[in-house]
Amino acid sequence: MTTAIRIPTVRLTVTSVQVDVLLAALHDGAEYRRDRAAGYCLDCQCEPGKLCADHARDLDTADDYDDLAAELEAAPASTALDGAA
């Protein structure tokens, strides 16, 4: 038996300029998280061939940022003129 999980969604409208800012932030964030994961701390050294939980989570978060960026890049654009009749 499977249980459906409902995830709340939010609809918002952003300009193409704001999308560019969001994409830049997501790319910067993903790069930062991957750099952190490459730090290979003492906890990582206790897990031969693996990353510690914190650094593994950094990679997961970087992937989440990449996924969201891909969704933003793939989102269809529309144009609307403010006040147009």
Contact between 33 and Zn ion (CB under 5 A)? no
Q: Which stretch binds Zn ion (CB under 5 A): 12-20, 27-35, 43-51, 75-83?
A: 43-51
Question: Counting contacts by CB under 5 A, is residue 41 touching Zn ion?
Answer: yes
For Zn ion, how many residues bind (rule: CB under 5 A)?
5
Give yes or no for residue 60 binding Zn ion (CB under 5 A): no
Q: State CA 70 to chain mean position distance.
A: 9
Among 26, 30, 33, 44, binds Zn ion (CB under 5 A): 44
Provide CB contacts within 8 A for 38, sequence distance 6+.
Answer: none
Quote the CA–CA distance of 30 and 61 in Å, as a whole number: 7
**Near Zn ion by CB under 5 A: residue from 30, 52, 62, 69:** 52
**H or E stretch at 22:** helix 16-37
Determine the distance from the C-alpha atom of residue 67 to the mean position of all C-alpha atoms in its chain, rounded to a whole number: 6
- Candidate list 28, 43, 47, 63; residue touching Zn ion; CB under 5 A: 43
